């Protein structure tokens, strides 16, 4: 009764606080008194019963969530004392790790839990390696399961690089060591097929290994993450995008194109819209949605159907400073989550909606050339400002459909507000705009004709088509309107070739005067 009252008071506080929940509602909560909560996963026994396995300060708590409106704690399996216990389920067995010691001062290694006898009991034991490693596997930071294998990440065995300890669980009660990823300390890992993606937090990157032969993993690629502190990673359903988190304040969730491991590229960065700290703690992916438990006490969901344009579509503030983990893979569509400091277990009901998307190209009104670094804002929203890329393209959007004013602004150009832009959930609207240079004024703008300059982007030589072979005066200015180059020449043909190899990368304007004809254009230098 006391726990229920505490939960009610907490929820009342949350709903009246500065955060407003969106597209996420609470089905129930369960207060776990006196313990921190960490990792969570679920088990379904095939008869309709659903259980949550929650890593707590003193072991693994098993909760019956068959009725999601009334979770019932069954019992707690004792284990090492630790701020974090991590757990995953494979088949009818769960595997858990921690970095603490039990009441006897013993480090437990890998805890194996037989779930077939729930709700009455859950036989379990601690496995500490076999063969040459018998009795030596004592701790793990996180654990991953896939197929017939369990992967202990960030284990204690320095001779194996504290990377990933791999064991065969074809016999789920009696694992056997088969190999290890030893290159770097691994905080967490994600496995699909014969590929493992490791989050190498200390080195600030993720690594990709071919583990077809688990006795001899082969490194395929590495990539630095934005915050250089890669906490965990998860692959998109189609396998083309890897989503990563960095456990540092104000660092984003990042999306990487990994379709070609020889050319990995950053697609987008996601920041929680209603939090001063953007730190996402863990990432899970389901049906092109990102489930994001975060520092700053919030669970968020982002629409990742376009990984170049991640848009927040749901959020709910949890009880304290850290929503540690979430599991969105229950057959009933619900999400379970843990709040570390408050010791509250959550059952959430998500409303998965697609974002209303907006994209387009911004160009110079005279030359028609694309403009980079144009700030694109959806006014009167918390949606982060997006900037156009080198080709003048932008992508943005929002979860709430409606009519919006979109502002386009760039130094050296007149700000442009486009009103009455109707955005619809699940739909894409294309809006191309032209900006007028503020450096030339309206009258001057009207007297200049457009010129054709190619190629753009350009590396070394810019070609300009001329009307005649008459002498040409030319001036080149940077994006701030500063003169960077000028000259006069008599062209040998009906084209002008100007070297631009000494110009830095960026957007430039060029003006020509030939036989009293004035022309202006813009070009991009890129290498």
Residue, of 408 and 438, whose pLDDT is higher: 408
Cis peptide before 455 (omega within 30 of 0): yes
CB contact at 8 A, 348 and 25:
yes
Chain centroid to CA 389: 19
Model confidence, pTM = 0.82
% residues pLDDT > 70 (the chain): 93
Q: Please, what is the Cα angle at 520 between 515 and 523, to 5 degrees?
A: 135
Instruction: Answer for the pair 87, 52: CB distance below 8 angstroms, yes or no.
Output: no
Domains of the chain in start order, with CATH, are: 23-350 (2.130.10.10), 356-435 (2.60.40.1120), 448-525 (2.60.40.3080)
- pLDDT of 518 reads 80
Predicted confidence (pLDDT) at residue 17 exceeds the cutoff of 50 = no
pLDDT tops 80 at residue 297 = no
pLDDT of 245-265, one tens digit each?
A: 999 888 899 999 999 999 999
- Give the residue among 112, 108, 78, 92 at the shortest CA–CA distance from 44: 92
The C-alpha atoms of residue 153 and residue 144 are separated, in whole angstroms, by 8
Q: Is the pLDDT of residue 289 over 90?
A: yes
pLDDT of residue 87 exceeding 70, the answer is yes
**Chain segment 324-368, per-residue pLDDT in tens:** 999 999 999 999 999 988 899 999 999 999 999 999 999 988 777
pLDDT at 320 (0 to 100): 64
Q: Average per-residue pLDDT in the chain? A: 90
**295-318 average pLDDT score:** 91
Rg, the chain, Cα only: 29
User: On the CB side of 506, how many CA atoms lie within 13 Å of its CA?
Assistant: 13
């Amino acid at each position: 009764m006391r726990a229920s009252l505490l939960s009610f008071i907490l929820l009342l506080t949350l709903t009246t606080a500065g955060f407003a929940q969106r597209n996420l509602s609470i089905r129930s909560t369960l207060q776990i008194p006196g313990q921190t909560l960490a990792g969570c996963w679920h088990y379904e026994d095939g008869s309709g019963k659903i259980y949550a396995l929650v890593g707590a300060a003193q072991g693994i708590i098993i909760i019956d969530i068959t009725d999601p409106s009334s979770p019932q704690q069954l019992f707690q399996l004792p284990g090492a004392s630790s701020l974090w216990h991590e757990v995953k389920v494979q088949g009818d067995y769960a595997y858990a790790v921690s970095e603490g010691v039990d009441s006897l001062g013993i480090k437990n290694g890998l805890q194996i839990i037989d779930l077939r006898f729930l709700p009455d009991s859950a036989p379990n034991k601690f496995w500490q390696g076999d063969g040459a490693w018998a009795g030596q596997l004592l701790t793990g930071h996180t654990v991953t399961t896939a197929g017939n294998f369990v992967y202990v990440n960030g284990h204690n065995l320095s001779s194996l690089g504290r990377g990933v300890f791999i064991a065969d669980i074809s016999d789920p009660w009696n694992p056997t060591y088969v190999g290890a990823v030893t290159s770097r300390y691994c905080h967490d890992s994600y496995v699909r097929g014969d590929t493992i993606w490791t989050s190498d937090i200390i080195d600030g990157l993720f690594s990709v290994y071919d583990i077809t032969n688990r006795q001899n993993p082969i490194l395929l690629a590495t990539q630095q993450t934005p915050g250089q502190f890669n906490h965990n990673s998860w692959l998109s359903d189609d396998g083309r995008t890897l989503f990563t988190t960095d456990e540092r304040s104000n660092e984003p969730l990042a999306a990487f194109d990994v379709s070609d491991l020889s050319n990995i590229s950053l697609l987008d960065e996601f920041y929680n819209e209603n939090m001063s700290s953007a730190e996402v703690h863990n990432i899970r992916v389901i049906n092109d949605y990102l489930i994001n438990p975060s520092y700053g006490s919030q669970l968020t969901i982002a629409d990742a159907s376009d990984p170049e344009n991640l848009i927040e579509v749901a959020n709910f503030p949890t009880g304290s400073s850290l929503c540690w983990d979430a599991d969105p893979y229950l057959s009933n569509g619900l999400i379970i989550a843990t709040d570390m400091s408050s010791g509250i277990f959550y059952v959430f009901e998500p409303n998965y909606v697609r974002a209303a998307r907006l994209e387009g190209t911004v160009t110079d009104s005279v030359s028609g050339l694309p403009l980079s670094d144009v700030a694109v804002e959806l006014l009167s929203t918390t949606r982060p400002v997006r900037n156009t890329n080198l080709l003048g393209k932008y992508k943005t959007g929002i979860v709430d459909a409606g009519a919006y004013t979109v502002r386009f602004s760039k130094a050296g150009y007149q700000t442009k507000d486009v009103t009455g832009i109707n955005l619809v959930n699940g739909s894409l609207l294309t809006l191309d705009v032209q900006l007028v240079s503020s450096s030339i004024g309206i009258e001057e703008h009207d007297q200049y004709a457009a010129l054709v300059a190619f190629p753009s982007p350009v590396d070394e030589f810019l070609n300009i088509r001329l009307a005649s072979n008459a002498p040409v005066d030319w001036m080149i200015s940077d994006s701030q309107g500063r003169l960077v180059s000028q000259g006069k020449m008599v062209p040998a043909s009906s084209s002008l070739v100007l070297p631009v190899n000494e110009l830095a990368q960026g957007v430039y304007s060029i003006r020509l005067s030939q036989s009293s004809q004035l022309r202006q254009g813009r070009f991009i230098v890129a290498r």
